[in-house]
Amino acid sequence: MLARLSLVLLALLLSCARPHRIYVRPYAENNKDLTGVSFLSYDSSTVEGFYDRKGRLCAPFEGHVRDYFAGWWAPDDDPICFHGTLESGLQPATLEMRWKGVVPADGNYDVLSAGYAVGIWGHVMARGSYFGDFWAWARVNVEVKSPHCGDSISRDVARAAVSLLAERSADFSGWVEIPDIWVAGCKAGDPMDVRVQVVGQSNRGHIAVDGFGFWAARDEELNRMFGIKSAPNPPPGATASNQNKPETPANGWSRFGSRPITQIRRQPGAPGGPR
């Protein structure tokens, strides 16, 4: 009887423990036609306004894959990067990964993710009395920048508020597929950047990031995550830089001028991310 009770207690303890990560690639590279794609090289990362658990600015991602993940990931249950208004003020905080390349010829281009989705985990929380208007939010931005062409899209992943029709806290957890971005009027020889960011801001509260980045097995994959491909016309499903309207493109993305609130919540038993 005692041995059976011990086994039951052990099973309960294991069921409450959170594994470090389940490694699931969101979708495969062979789902996309990469013929004629010029890949961009991973360049660098930047951190603004996010701090580690010792109060220091979060360390940048150095470009080396660890535990099948390229980006920031917490080794335990505490956030790896934290932005709070008490410590950091009201300015937005950003974690950014950047890829660089050169436009091969004059023309229009499809800027695409070569089969990689971005993963983001964490939570936002708003603090304050019910008589104030306090909020916190987090979103993913993707920017394409070149001197003669470019575009930017955004997807809100969590929002919390006080005195509004929202919860005081909200989790975000999951993989987000990045749509193609069509840019027009690019010039040969110009540099081109692709920047993927998680941005958080609050006027009274905090944003905590447990993980942000991409599934990868080797460092070399960082140089095949994004590419550009000649495209005289916008491919199906791509956002188009010469149609800079506030409507929402497919899959919950919008341009910076219009950001619908789209929660990304982990479904029980769904693949991807931590359990």
Model confidence over 173-201: pLDDT tens digits? 889 989 999 999 999 999 999 999 999 99
Q: Is 184 helix (H, G, I), strand (E, B) or coil?
A: strand
Residue 56 within a domain:
yes
Q: Which residue has the tokens 């956030």?
A: 79
In angstroms, the CA 135 to CA 205 distance is 7
| 65 or 130, which is more confident | 65
* Mean pLDDT score, 74-87: 89
Q: Which residue has the tokens 């011990």?
A: 6
Amino acid letter, 41:
S
Q: How many domains does the chain have?
A: 1
Residue 3 within a domain:
no
pLDDT at 235 over 70: yes
Residue 37 within a domain:
yes
pLDDT at 58 over 80: yes
The b/e string for 1-23 (b: 16+ C-beta within 10 A; e otherwise) is eeeeeeeeeeeeeeeeeeeebee
Q: What is the pLDDT of residue 30?
A: 53
Residue 8 within a domain:
no
pLDDT at 8 over 70: no
With bands split at pLDDT 50, 70 and 90, how would you rate the model's confidence at 163? low
Distance spanning both ends of the chain, measured CA to CA: 32
Residue 150 within a domain:
yes
Residue 263 within a domain:
no
In angstroms, the CA 246 to CA 254 distance is 7
Q: Which residues contact 95 (CB under 8 A, 6 or more apart)?
A: 45, 46, 47, 50, 58, 71, 72, 81, 197, 198, 209, 212
Q: Are 155 and 139 in contact (CB under 8 A)?
A: yes
Among the listed ranges 81-95, 156-170, 177-191, which one has the minimum average pLDDT value? 156-170
With bands split at pLDDT 50, 70 and 90, how would you rate the model's confidence at 115? confident
Of the chain, the percentage scoring pLDDT greater than 70 comes to: 74
Tokens of 117: 């989705």
The b/e string for 161-194 (b: 16+ C-beta within 10 A; e otherwise) is bbeeebbbbbbbbbbbebbbbbbbebeeeeebbb
Exposed, middle or buried: residue 64 (CB in 10 Å: 0-12, 13-18, 19+)? exposed
Q: What is the pLDDT of residue 24?
A: 55
Residue 129's domain comprises 29-255
Amino acid letter, 173:
S
What's the mean pLDDT when you consider all of the chain? Answer: 79
Residue 165 within a domain:
yes
Q: What share of the chain is helix, strand, coil (3-state, %, to 5)?
A: 10, 45, 45
Residue 275 within a domain:
no
